[in-house]
């Protein structure tokens, strides 16, 4: 009988209470029957606080899992009651837009004592700041703060302070060696600016224009040579110059010396005074005046400009003009502007020291010089194709 009672009891309960057949979330919990005496509730720590306008405090709901025996399970802490519930906060100062921290007394904190801010510049108090003027970087600019002069003791010592600790003769020799290695080096160069063949309506011809120097940064010996002639004839003109050159700016040299000219008609020896260097915008210029042993005064000006199309391909415009103070029929030279040459050359630098080129050049004579050339039966104006090589070493 006990066996049948134990078997039928769950079936009867399932039929009587269908809800009990559903799986319970706490089916595996071992529940200890609660005792008849309920534990006393903990007193509200904020009981008696008057909160105007607030409703009566609600009764704390009991824990639905109170009394469950759950060995081996770590239960989360119970939800804490708001410790400030029902507090009357109407008497506390409310934050405003101008003061986000009302009621905070920070007058005793020096690091938080902010200066008064003028209207319209809230948060940007620069009254106590010293603003630097909008000035250039030059020390001579009037807007720059004045710099005090060096102390008198700075100029009271010897010219070379190292002489106080080392032998003065050894230090003088070391300074001389330093000057020789860093500011007084002797260098030399040879520049073959133009070595070319020209082709035009007249006879094919050749032209050379070379120069070079030997010396230091300031003082140099400079030489120049140029000339031209026909392939099937004799040399038409040739000249060579020997010059003393002195740098008077970082980019220009003053030159003076002599020039010797050779022509089929006559030879001349000239005194030369000129200036050569690099003009602004990278124009290479060479200007010289000549006084011959016959008292003939003439001048010549040359200018070149290297336009780099690429690192190796360079387009070079070139211009040259010649002038004379008087007529020299013997040399077919008239007074005034005697001749001009305009050309452009495109060179390719296989190496920096070696570059072949191709170009065109136009030459024309003017004034009395033009008449002298026509009287000789020659053409005073000519345009030619040029092929040449530029090199230096």
Q: Determine the pLDDT at residue 390.
A: 98
Neighbours of 255 (CB within 10 A): 22
- Cα–Cα distance, 259 to 223 (Å, whole number): 10
Give the SS3 label for residue 98. coil
Question: Among 81, 45, 37, which residue's Cα sits nearest to residue 63?
Answer: 81
Task: Give the 3-state secondary structure of residue 383.
Answer: strand
pLDDT of residue 90: 58
Cβ contacts of residue 68 below 8 Å, gap of 6+?
26, 29, 31
pLDDT at position 44 is 53
> In the chain, which ranges are E strands?
30-31, 68-69, 187-199, 205-215, 219-230, 235-247, 252-262, 267-279, 283-292, 297-305, 307-308, 313-324, 336-348, 354-365, 381-392
At residue 54, the pLDDT reads 45
Predicted pLDDT of residue 33? 42
pLDDT tens, residue by residue, 339-382: 999 999 999 999 999 999 999 999 999 999 999 999 988 899 99
- How far apart CA 355 and CA 360 sit, in angstroms, is 17
Closest of 226, 212, 218 to residue 318, by C-alpha: 226
pLDDT at 52: 46
Report the half-sphere exposure of 302 (CA within 13 A, side-chain side): 14
* Placement of tokens 């200890």 in the chain: 32
Please report the pLDDT score of residue 37 as a whole number: 39
- How high is the pLDDT of residue 305? 97
Q: Give pLDDT, residue 149.
A: 85
Taking residue 18's Cβ as centre, other Cβ atoms within 10 Å add up to: 8
Q: Give CA–CA dist 367/375, Å, rounded.
A: 13
Per-residue pLDDT of the chain (393 residues; tens, 9 = 90+): 344 444 444 443 444 444 433 444 444 444 444 444 344 444 555 554 544 444 444 545 555 555 555 555 555 555 555 555 555 555 555 555 555 555 555 555 555 444 444 444 445 555 556 555 555 555 556 667 777 888 888 888 788 889 889 999 999 999 999 888 887 788 999 999 999 999 988 789 999 999 999 998 899 999 999 999 999 888 889 999 999 999 999 999 999 999 999 998 889 999 999 999 999 999 999 999 999 999 999 999 999 999 999 999 999 999 999 999 999 999 999 999 999 999 999 999 999 999 999 999 999 999 999 999 999 888 999 999 999 999 999
Task: State the pLDDT at residue 124.
Answer: 56
Q: Give the pLDDT confidence score for residue 8 in this predicted structure.
A: 46
Q: Are 46 and 54 in contact (CB under 8 A)?
A: no
Q: How does pLDDT run across 130-170, given as a tens digit for each residue?
A: 555 555 555 556 667 777 888 888 888 788 889 889 999 99
Distance CA 341, CA 319 (A): 6
Residue 186: predicted pLDDT? 87
């Amino acid at each position: 009988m006990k066996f049948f009672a134990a078997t039928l009891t769950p079936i009867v309960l399932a039929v009587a209470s269908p809800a009990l057949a559903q799986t319970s979330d706490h089916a595996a919990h071992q529940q200890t029957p609660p005792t008849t005496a309920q534990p006393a509730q903990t007193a509200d720590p904020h009981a008696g606080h008057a909160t105007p306008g607030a409703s009566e405090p609600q009764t704390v709901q009991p824990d639905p899992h109170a009394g469950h025996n759950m060995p081996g399970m770590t239960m989360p802490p119970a939800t804490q009651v708001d410790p400030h519930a029902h507090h009357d906060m109407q008497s506390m100062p409310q934050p405003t837009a101008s003061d986000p921290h009302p009621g905070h007394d920070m007058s005793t904190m020096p690091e938080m004592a902010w200066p008064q801010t003028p209207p319209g510049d809230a948060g940007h108090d620069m009254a106590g700041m010293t603003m630097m003027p909008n000035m250039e970087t030059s020390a001579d600019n009037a807007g720059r703060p004045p710099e005090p002069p060096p102390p008198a003791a700075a100029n009271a010592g010897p010219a070379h302070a190292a002489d106080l600790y080392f032998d003065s003769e050894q230090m003088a020799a070391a300074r001389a060696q330093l000057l020789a290695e860093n500011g007084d080096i002797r260098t030399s160069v040879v520049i073959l600016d133009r070595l070319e063949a020209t082709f035009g309506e007249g006879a094919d011809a050749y032209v050379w224009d070379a120069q070079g120097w030997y010396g230091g940064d300031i003082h140099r010996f400079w030489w120049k040579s140029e000339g031209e002639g026909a392939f099937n004839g004799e040399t038409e003109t040739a000249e060579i110059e020997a010059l003393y050159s002195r740098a008077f700016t970082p980019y220009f040299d003053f030159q003076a010396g002599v020039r010797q000219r050779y022509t089929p008609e006559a030879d001349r020896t000239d005194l030369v005074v000129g200036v050569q260097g690099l003009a602004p915008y990278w124009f290479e210029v060479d200007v010289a005046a000549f006084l011959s042993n016959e008292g003939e005064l003439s001048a010549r000006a040359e200018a070149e400009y290297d336009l780099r199309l690429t690192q190796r391909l360079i387009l070079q415009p070139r211009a040259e003009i010649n002038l004379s103070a008087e007529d020299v029929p013997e040399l077919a030279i008239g007074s005034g502007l005697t001749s001009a040459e305009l050309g452009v050359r495109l060179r390719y630098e296989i190496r920096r020291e070696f570059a072949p080129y191709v170009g065109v050049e136009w030459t024309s004579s003017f004034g009395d010089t033009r008449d002298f050339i026509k009287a000789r039966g020659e053409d005073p104006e000519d345009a030619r194709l040029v092929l040449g090589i530029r090199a230096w070493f």
